[in-house]
Amino acid sequence: MEEHIVERRTEIVFPHETNHYGTLFGGKALALMDVVASIAAMRACRKPVVTASIDRIDFKQPIHVGEFVEVVATVVNVGRTSIAVEVELWAEHPLTRERRLSTVGKLVMVAIGPDGRPTPVRDEAEV
């Protein structure tokens, strides 16, 4: 099983995704982080996953309407049924290419079996 999966996704921030200051809603940022972390975790274990916890999230810099937001998710630890994923959101000005780290956090995803309950990330043959 690959444990150093890195998943990337880039989007542009539209006005309907921003608050009255013209910056990306925190909830939208978390949703982007959750989706990309899920994809990274599923690629690491090739099983369905759900979000078990979201550890500390730090909003360091705002992302403004019209800017690109790149989400980078890196699998950092694989447990028995869980996969820890560190996620960064990078803001990029589309004309100047200026980039700044906007948001960082760690999400823990849990592999789910056909019965809807946590299941081992690694198949018994891999252990």
The range of the structural domain enclosing residue 20 comes to 6-111
Residue 82: closest CA among 118, 46, 30, 35: 118
Q: What is the pLDDT of residue 124?
A: 63
- How many structural domains is the chain composed of? 1
Q: Which residues 6+ apart lie within 8 Å of 77 measured at CB?
A: 3, 83, 84
Per residue in 82-111, pLDDT (tens digit) is: 999 999 999 999 999 999 999 999 999 999
Average pLDDT, the chain: 94
- Domain presence at residue 127: no
- Domain presence at residue 34: yes
Indicate which CATH number applies to the domain containing 68.
Answer: 3.10.129.10
- Domain presence at residue 1: no
Look up residue 110 and give its two tokens: 């849990």
- Domain presence at residue 119: no
Per residue in 10-63, pLDDT (tens digit) is: 999 999 999 999 999 999 999 999 999 999 999 999 999 999 999 999 999 999
Residue 12 · residue 75 · CB < 8 Å: no
- Domain presence at residue 121: no
Q: What is the pLDDT of residue 125?
A: 55
- Domain presence at residue 125: no
- Domain presence at residue 126: no
